[in-house]
Amino acid sequence: MLNPKATPDSPVEEQPVIGLIGMGEMGRMYAKHLSNAGWKKLHVCDLPQKYDALQRDFKNVPGIIVMKDGHQVSRSSDFIMYSVEAEYIDKAVRQFGPSTKIGAVVAGQTSVKAPEKVAFETHLPEDVHIVSCHSLHGPTVSPLGQPL
């Protein structure tokens, strides 16, 4: 059973599934840091044409499972981070949002929050939780100790 107080040291069955939709620079940075921190259930995806390369890039990275698309990530994840550019957030959430797991927490990493807010409120099911955040760092700066 999922433990709401789980840490990377918790038994794997108590850890949440963390989903990352969008594996550009920010998505890759978070995937690597979460893996290095010890989280064991990271489901990630990117555009279909990037699937094979993503599989190769993360083949030996502990805890990371590359999935074919955002539907698979959304259905399986307890926490989902959309890490796509603001101009594509509506399209991504419209496509994958309806597949979101009941009770999941959904967040976004867009730099412009207004389109993200509209996309989440329009396309996500009512039985999910939206948490908006914005990293005050980029993909070349470690997120350790940085505010969200």
Q: Give Cα 87 distance to the centre of its chain.
A: 18
Given a cut of 80, is residue 36 above it in pLDDT? yes
3 state DSSP class of 98? helix
Cβ atoms of 63 and 42 closer than 8 Å: yes
pTM (predicted TM-score): 0.91
Residue type, 144: L
CA neighbor of 18 nearest in space, from 64, 69, 85: 64
Given a cut of 60, is residue 147 above it in pLDDT? no
Given a cut of 90, is residue 70 above it in pLDDT? yes
Residue type, 44: V
